[in-house]
Amino acid sequence: MAATAPHRRAGRSPLRSAGPALGRAGLLAPGLILLVALAFLPLVAIVISGFLNDRSQFTAANFAHVLTSGIYLKLLGRTLAVAFLTTAVAIALAWPAALALARHTSPGSRTVILGLVIIPYITSQLLLIYGFLSLIQAGGPVSFVLSHLHLVDAHASILYTPWANILMLIYENLPAAILIMYSASESIDASVLEAARTLGARPWYVFLRVVWPLSSAMVVVNFTLNFVQTVGAFAEPAILGGPNGQMLGIAIQAQLSTGASQGFAVALSLVLLVASLVVVGAVALLVSWMRRAQAGGTPRRIVTPATEV
């Protein structure tokens, strides 16, 4: 018996080590196949089509057109600015709510509130937009209340201005921002915040030196998710924004739907994609630099394992 045991173990060991590898491959494969088939390949096709003109000749003319056109660059700038503003404001509004939810709410009401937060998230986007439209249009509830308070003229409305679009985008960004900042707030130990107070830190100092650095990674995640989504918005500006509230997504959609120049539309969206990545990367770098600066430089790594006292 004793003699056969090592044999058996030796015979099984390759299988054992292959098991996890196979399992890993099996788990990763569906995702990888989907990613390659539905995201990576189309992207390659799009990039190629961006470099083709109407007669299917290879050219960089589409990109040259985008980058030299004042109108499109202005639209790109506005799109990035609107996306940045609405994302940042949504996070700023969501954070206090998330902190309150994580720290000062009973578990029961917390579940209810989080449920309510998710409702707009799972409601049809067009429904939300038209709901918002009917709310803010001239003669709608908001204008009715404000005009009766003699704050505005009866026919005044922010509908068809950039502000309607911006408010809508902030509103749409809020649920995800609250959920993400809630999980960030919940992951900070209450005793760590109390410790900071007992050490003489006022609430604002605690926020800057403890809450912010411990949440900043999640802020970047939050920013990335919301910003990338907002940059591509076209229904909101098209329905609510009016002539001065347009964003690049509308131009891309217009180019594609008229069939005028697919290559140009692709060039527009690729420029937008790269510009968005630059913004996201810059924000991520800035935040991690701030965090390192606060921690008092990267701690020197000491190889000796921590010894018991």
> What does the binding site for another protein look like in residue numbers (CB under 8 A)?
189, 191-192, 194-202, 205, 209-210, 213-214, 291, 294-296, 299-300, 302, 306-309
CA distances from 285 to 81, 140, 222 (A): 19, 44, 15
How many Cβ atoms sit within 10 Å of the Cβ of residue 202? 10
Is the Cα dihedral 146, 148, 151, 155 positive or negative? positive
Rounded Cα–Cα distance for residues 214 and 184 (Å): 8
> What residue type is assigned to position 286 of the chain?
L
Rounded Cα–Cα distance for residues 2 and 9 (Å): 12
Of 153 and 189, the one with the shorter C-beta distance to another protein is 189
Of 60 and 195, the one with the shorter C-beta distance to another protein is 195
Q: 3-class DSSP state for residue 51?
A: coil
Q: Tokens for 75, please give them.
A: 């639209």
**Minimum gap (Å) between residue 199 Cβ and another protein:** 3
**Minimum gap (Å) between residue 222 Cβ and another protein:** 18
**Minimum gap (Å) between residue 203 Cβ and another protein:** 8
Of 20 and 296, the one with the shorter C-beta distance to another protein is 296
Of 58 and 204, the one with the shorter C-beta distance to another protein is 204
**Minimum gap (Å) between residue 193 Cβ and another protein:** 9
Of 149 and 199, the one with the shorter C-beta distance to another protein is 199
As a residue count, the chain comes to 309
**Minimum gap (Å) between residue 163 Cβ and another protein:** 38
